[in-house]
């Protein structure tokens, strides 16, 4: 897939949104950051927007009660969007290991979407690649924002809180899927759909569902399940291994305050199931 280039200059900061305006980010939090894309062709293919030919992408690390630092990526050194995302992730991971606090970042990859299109009597499938990267850090300890050239803004969405910052370096891609992290609030409101997010990797990129089973530690009869299913290709993905984060709603019921344990797995179309990852949360009215 072709990568393109574009120029201009403007300082832009990335702002993050939370599930509720009244909820403060006070724990390690996962962010999902799409890079700019454009749509081409009658099939609606989405490809990376042209990269600036010159100028810098500046990553600001604004620490609480400590010195803030900057890291610069020169666009003239970047050949394509994949390299840009890898450089951003490496810069954040290097900053974490050299100066702290603990942060993590990785480029998402693989199949993002399958679209059906028609041209006359011909019906076909358009496969669209994912162009995003992930970041995890504690906003109480550090804020990460970007200064970018104009017409090339990077806007990140909040996926949710984690119990700890995961290690997203040197990920091994295997045929058995792996859950990399689960972002879920520490408290659910009974009967209210609540967003959670799951990041996973898989060598064949053929994961067909994320499954969640949960039960109350206080009332073993109170249990439930949820998850998300998505499209897969009947042939090997043209984009290679997959590493993605998906978000969906989970509804939990409780008549009184209870503590729940949820088990999360990623499942591929060959019936390979990841090792389960467990998170706990409270439920109340």
Would you state the pLDDT for residue 2?
37
What is the 3-class SS of 51-69, one letter each residue?
ECCCCEEEEEEEECCCCCE
What is the 3-class SS of 191-217, one letter each residue?
CCCEEEEEEEEECCCCEEEEEEEEEEC
What is the per-residue pLDDT across 159-194, written as a single tens digit (0 to 9) for each?
Answer: 999 999 999 999 999 999 999 999 999 999 999 999
User: Residue 134 is encoded by which pair of tokens?
Assistant: 């992930």
- CA end-to-end span of the chain: 50
What is the per-residue pLDDT across 106-162, written as a single tens digit (0 to 9) for each?
Answer: 999 999 998 887 777 777 788 999 999 999 999 999 999 999 988 899 999 999 999
Q: Where exactly does CATH 2.60.40.2550 map onto the chain? A: 171-285
User: Residue 273 is encoded by which pair of tokens?
Assistant: 């199931």
pTM: 0.87
What is the per-residue pLDDT across 54-111, written as a single tens digit (0 to 9) for each?
Answer: 999 999 999 998 789 999 999 999 999 999 999 999 999 999 999 999 999 999 999 9
Would you state the pLDDT for residue 137?
98
Q: Architecture of 171-285 per CATH? A: Sandwich (2.60)
Question: Taking a C-beta distance cutoff of 8 angstroms, is the pair 279, 163 a contact?
Answer: yes
Would you state the pLDDT for residue 11?
31
Would you state the pLDDT for residue 3?
36
Would you state the pLDDT for residue 119?
73
């Amino acid at each position: 897939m072709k990568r393109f280039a574009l120029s201009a200059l403007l300082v832009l900061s990335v702002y993050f949104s939370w599930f509720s305006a009244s909820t403060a980010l006070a724990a390690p939090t996962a962010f999902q950051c799409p890079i700019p894309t454009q749509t081409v062709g009658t099939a609606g293919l989405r490809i990376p927007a042209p990269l600036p030919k010159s100028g810098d992408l500046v990553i600001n690390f604004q620490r609480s009660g400590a010195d803030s630092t900057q890291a610069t990526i020169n666009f003239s050194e970047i050949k394509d969007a994949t390299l840009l995302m890898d450089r951003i992730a490496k810069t954040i991971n290097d900053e974490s290991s050299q100066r702290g606090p603990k942060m993590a970042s990785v480029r998402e990859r693989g199949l993002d979407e399958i679209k059906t299109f028609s041209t006359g009597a011909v019906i076909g499938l358009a496969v669209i690649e994912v162009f995003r990267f992930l970041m995890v850090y504690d906003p109480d300890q550090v804020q990460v924002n970007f200064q970018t050239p104009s017409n090339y803004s990077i806007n990140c969405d909040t996926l949710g809180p984690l119990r700890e910052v995961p290690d997203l370096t040197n990920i091994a891609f295997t045929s058995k899927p792996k859950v990399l992290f689960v972002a879920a609030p520490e408290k659910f409101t009974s009967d209210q759909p609540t967003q959670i997010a799951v990041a996973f990797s898989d060598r064949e990129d053929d994961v067909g569902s994320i499954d969640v089973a949960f039960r109350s530690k206080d009332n073993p009869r109170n249990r439930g399940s949820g998850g998300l299913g998505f499209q897969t290709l009947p042939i090997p993905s043209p984009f290679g291994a997959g590493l993605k984060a998906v978000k969906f709603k989970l509804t939990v019921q409780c008549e009184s305050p209870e503590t729940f344990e949820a088990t999360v797995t990623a499942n591929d179309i060959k019936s390979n199931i990841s090792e389960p990852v467990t998170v706990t949360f409270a439920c109340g009215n």
